[in-house]
């Protein structure tokens, strides 16, 4: 038997909704799902497993009709699915009134059900959510019937509010394969026995990395899994290191080049790190125009050459301001090493004055030193 395991499709979701590409992402989620359903027919899969959250919200009749049409366009493929916490099957939901074609089996929310596919010797167990949160370990203790069928459990959850489970219970449950949903990152829990397929497409900025579905090939009561990447784009956190020579325009060009190299179809969170020239503040909106940039975080610090500034402005306000932090650094070092006399003067140790002073300060003290110096130097300029 050959099957596709997918989950967390979230049809109807508009990722990055406030961006200019939000509506495009909404369409892409439908397109990727449609392509994946057709993949099942093209690869002559026997069964498609959908482990919850096919929809981002409980579906209305029109959404169910759209999905039903897709399923009916592949009559040689069987589909088994459950509703998850996002698209839960309440008593009033359209799930309860809708009739899918014969090749589709939706497991209900009144307890664990078993669907038998005699044509390829498989039984699928599971149940749908009837509410958004279920904090009871309802999968613990579930076991398949004793027969020669290939036994699959469709499951959704894994955290405290969404059917928590113990892995050791899953391992000894007797199911040949456990198809899990709810966690958006693809991961294997038990080799060729239990896996999260991950979200079919990334839904929010936390869904970094590749996304798609799993293909399973059974051999007796064992299965071999292969991940198939399907998402049209990824979320990527890109760190760009800044130096004192960078300007707003040079940094924009550097980010644009890095985005092209990594892939212009991806959606980026840009993090700026390193040391910038004193008084330079980068235009994050300029950088955000380099592609599908979701956010730009400027974590740079001013390049303050502390010993040079202390010597240049010795006896003046700037010099005295730097020296005022030396005692704080000495006290912190003494407390950490339980010994006094760790000085900050340039004659002690191999490290530079700057390194030893900054190492002796707390994060708050370092930020205060940097902010104060930048303000004082800006005032002089």
Q: What is the mean pLDDT of residues 112-140?
A: 97
**Percentage above 70 pLDDT, the chain:** 95
CATH number of 2-229: 3.60.21.10
Position with higher pLDDT, 138 vs 352:
138
Tell me how far apart the alpha carbons of residues 286 and 343 are, in angstroms, rounded to a whole number: 44
What is the tens place of the pLDDT at every residue in 9-18?
999 999 998 8
pLDDT value for 280 = 82
Q: Is the pLDDT of residue 202 over 50?
A: yes
Q: Where are the chain's structural domains? A: 2-229, 235-302, 306-380
Least confident residue range of 4-13, 36-45, 158-167, 354-363: 354-363
3-state secondary structure of 236: strand
Tell me how far apart the alpha carbons of residues 218 and 150 are, in angstroms, rounded to a whole number: 8
DSSP 8-state code for residue 359: H
Q: Is the pLDDT of residue 336 over 70?
A: no
- Number of C-beta neighbours around residue 202 at 10 A: 27
Q: Is the pLDDT of residue 264 over 80?
A: yes
Tell me how far apart the alpha carbons of residues 311 and 322 are, in angstroms, rounded to a whole number: 10
pLDDT value for 350 = 59
Q: What is the mean pLDDT of residues 109-132?
A: 96
pLDDT-based confidence at 1, cuts 50/70/90? very high
Of 176-185, 277-286, 294-303, which one has max mean pLDDT? Answer: 176-185
Q: Is the pLDDT of residue 345 over 60?
A: no
Position with higher pLDDT, 290 vs 280:
290
Q: Is the pLDDT of residue 133 over 90?
A: yes
Least confident residue range of 36-40, 221-225, 353-357: 353-357
pLDDT value for 341 = 47
Q: How far is CA 134 from CA 85, 114, 121, 138, 345, in A?
A: 8, 21, 31, 9, 61
Position with higher pLDDT, 44 vs 348:
44
Q: What is the mean pLDDT of residues 126-150?
A: 96
Calculate the average pLDDT of the chain: 92
Q: How far is CA 274 from CA 255, 298, 300, 307, in A?
A: 14, 10, 5, 19
pLDDT value for 347 = 45
Largest CA distance in the chain: 90
Dihedral of CA atoms 199, 78, 46, 218 in degrees, nearest 10, equals 60
What is the tens place of the pLDDT at every residue in 167-184?
999 999 999 999 999 999
pLDDT-based confidence at 355, cuts 50/70/90? confident
pLDDT-based confidence at 330, cuts 50/70/90? confident
pLDDT value for 335 = 67
Position with higher pLDDT, 93 vs 374:
93
**Percentage above 90 pLDDT, the chain:** 75
pLDDT value for 337 = 62
pLDDT-based confidence at 49, cuts 50/70/90? very high
3-state secondary structure of 210: coil
pLDDT value for 237 = 96
pLDDT value for 332 = 79
Q: What is the mean pLDDT of residues 281-297?
A: 92
């Amino acid at each position: 038997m050959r099957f596709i395991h997918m989950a967390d499709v979230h049809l109807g979701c508009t990722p990055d909704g406030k961006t200019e590409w939000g509506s495009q992402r909404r369409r892409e989620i439908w397109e990727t799902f449609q392509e994946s359903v057709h993949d099942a027919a093209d690869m002559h899969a026997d069964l498609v497993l959908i482990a919850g959250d096919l929809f981002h919200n409980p579906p209305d009749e029109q959404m169910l009709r759209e999905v039903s049409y897709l399923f009916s366009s592949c009559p040689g493929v069987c589909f088994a699915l459950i509703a998850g916490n996002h698209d839960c099957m309440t008593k009033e939901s359209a799930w309860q009134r809708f009739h899918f074609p014969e090749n589709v089996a939706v497991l209900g929310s009144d307890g664990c059900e078993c669907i038998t596919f005699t044509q390829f010797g498989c039984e699928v167990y599971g149940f749908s959510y009837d509410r958004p949160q279920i904090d009871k370990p309802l999968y613990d203790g579930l076991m398949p019937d004793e027969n020669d069928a290939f036994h699959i459990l469709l499951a959704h959850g894994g955290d405290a509010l969404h059917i928590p489970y113990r892995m050791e219970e899953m391992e000894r449950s007797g199911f040949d394969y456990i198809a899990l949903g709810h966690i958006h990152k693809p991961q294997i829990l038990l080799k060729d026995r239990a896996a999260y397929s991950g979200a079919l497409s990334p839904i929010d900025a936390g869904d970094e990395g590749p996304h798609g579905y799993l293909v399973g090939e059974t051999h007796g009561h064992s299965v071999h899994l292969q991940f198939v990447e399907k998402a049209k784009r990824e979320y990527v956190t890109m760190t760009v290191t800044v130096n004192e020579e960078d300007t707003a325009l040079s940094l924009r060009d550097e980010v644009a080049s890095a985005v092209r190299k990594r892939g212009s179809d991806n959606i980026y969170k840009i993090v700026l790190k390193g040391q910038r020239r004193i008084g330079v503040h980068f235009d994050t909106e300029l950088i955000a125009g380099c592609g599908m940039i979701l956010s730009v975080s400027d974590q740079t610090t001013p390049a303050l050459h502390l010993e040079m500034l202390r010597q240049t402005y010795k006896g003046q306000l700037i010099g005295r301001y730097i020296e005022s932090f030396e005692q704080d650094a000495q006290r912190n070092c003494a407390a950490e090493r339980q010994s006094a006399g760790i000085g900050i003067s340039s004659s002690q140790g191999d490290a530079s004055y700057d390194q030893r002073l900054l190492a002796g300060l707390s994060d708050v003290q370092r930020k205060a030193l940097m902010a104060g110096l930048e303000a004082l130097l800006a005032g002089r300029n």
